[in-house]
Amino acid sequence: MSDIAKKQAEWQPKIIAFLCNWCSYAGADLAGVSRYQYPPSLRIVRVPCSGRVSANMILDALRSGADGVLVSGCHPGDCHYISGNYYARRRFAVLKRFLEFVGIEPDRVNFSWISASEGEQFAEVATEVTERVKKLGPARHLVKEF
């Protein structure tokens, strides 16, 4: 393996995961309870609802140095706050296009529905998102360098 390839393999991105309290955060807990293993790249921020997450928060996370962002909420129809996850989904669709437009790889920002009973799925999503971000390498577009 070349040095670069080795470094790439060892490099662990930092991914901010905004998880809603009622479904996805509980799903992440269940992944633990069931001992599903996934890469140690996620830094989970608990929010009441995926609808609480604004485009600004996602951009701010990238600006402060996150290599990727994951936003996860309840499945459609399951939102604890009736409709928050739908707003999140719409906001996310718009943001995705915007990211492409400003030159940020859309794969850095990910969205998923994970319910409180989907521990395995959470681990899978965490692994997939990590792999995706790993392929892109460290994010430097929005980071302020002093």
Partner 1 sequence: MSTPKGSVLVVGGGIAGVQAALDLADSGFYVHLVEKSAAIGGSMSQLDKTFPTNDCSACILSPKLVECGRHLNINLLTLSEVLSIDGEPGSFKVKVRQNPRYVDVDKCIACGNCAEKCPKKVPNEFDLGLGTRKAIYLRYPQAVPLKYAIDPEHCIYLKKPGRCGFCEKECPAGAINFKDTPREHDIEVGSVILALGFKPFDPSRLDFTGYGQFKNVVTSMEFERLLSPSGPCLGHMERPSDHQEPRKIAWLQCVGSRDINKACHGYCSSVCCMYAIKQAVIAREHSESGDVDATIFFMDMRTHGKGFEAYYDRAREEGINFHRARVHTVLPAGNDNLKLRFTGEDGKLREDEFELVVLSVGLETDPQVMRLAHQLGIHLDSDSFAETTCFQPVETSRKGIFVCGALAEPKDIPQSVMEASAAALEAERILYPARWTETRKKEFPPERDVHAEPPRIGVFVCSCGINIASVVDVQAVTDYAWTLPGVVLAQNNLFTCSQDTINQMADIIKKENLNRVVVASCTPRTHEPLFQETLREAGINKFLFEMANIRDQDSWVHQNDPEAATIKAMDLVRMAVAKVRGDDPLPYNSVTVTKSALVIGAGVAGMTAALSLADQGFPVTLVERKDRLGGHGRKFFRTWQGQEIQPYLEELVDMVESNEKIDVCLGSTIQEVSGSVGQFKTRLSNGKEIEHGVAIVAVGAESYKPREGRWNFLYGKNPAVHTLLELDQKFIKGEIDAKNLNQAVFIHCVGSRVPERPYCSRVCCTHAIDQAIHLKETNPEMDIFMLYRDIRTYGKREHLYQKARALGIIFIRYDLDNIPRVTEENGRLRIEVKDPIIDADVTLHPDLLVLASAVRPRDDVGELSKLFKCAMSSDGFLLEAHMKLRPVDFATDGVYLAGLCHYPKPVEETIAQAKAAASRAGLVLSRDAVPAESITAVVNLQKCTGCSVCTKVCAYHAVNMDPNTGKAAVDTGLCKGCGACVAGCRSDAITLKNLGNEQIMAAVEAAMDDIQAGQGL
Residues that bind partner 1 (CB under 8 A): 12, 14, 16, 21, 23, 25-26, 28-38, 40, 42-49, 51-54, 56-57, 60-61, 64-66, 77-78, 80-84, 87-88, 91, 115-120, 123
Minimum Å gap between C-beta 75 and partner 1 is 9
Q: Which CB sits closer to partner 1, 60 or 107?
A: 60
CB count within 10 Å of CB 7 equals: 10
Minimum Å gap between C-beta 46 and partner 1 is 7
Helix residue ranges per DSSP H, the chain: 3-10, 24-33, 55-63, 84-102, 119-136
Q: Which CB sits closer to partner 1, 109 or 123?
A: 123
Encoded amino acid at 54, one letter: S
CA 38 to chain centre: 14
Q: Which CB sits closer to partner 1, 21 or 136?
A: 21
Minimum Å gap between C-beta 40 and partner 1 is 4
CA-wise closest residue to 52 among 67, 66, 27, 72: 72
Minimum Å gap between C-beta 80 and partner 1 is 8
Cβ atoms of 85 and 20 closer than 8 Å: yes
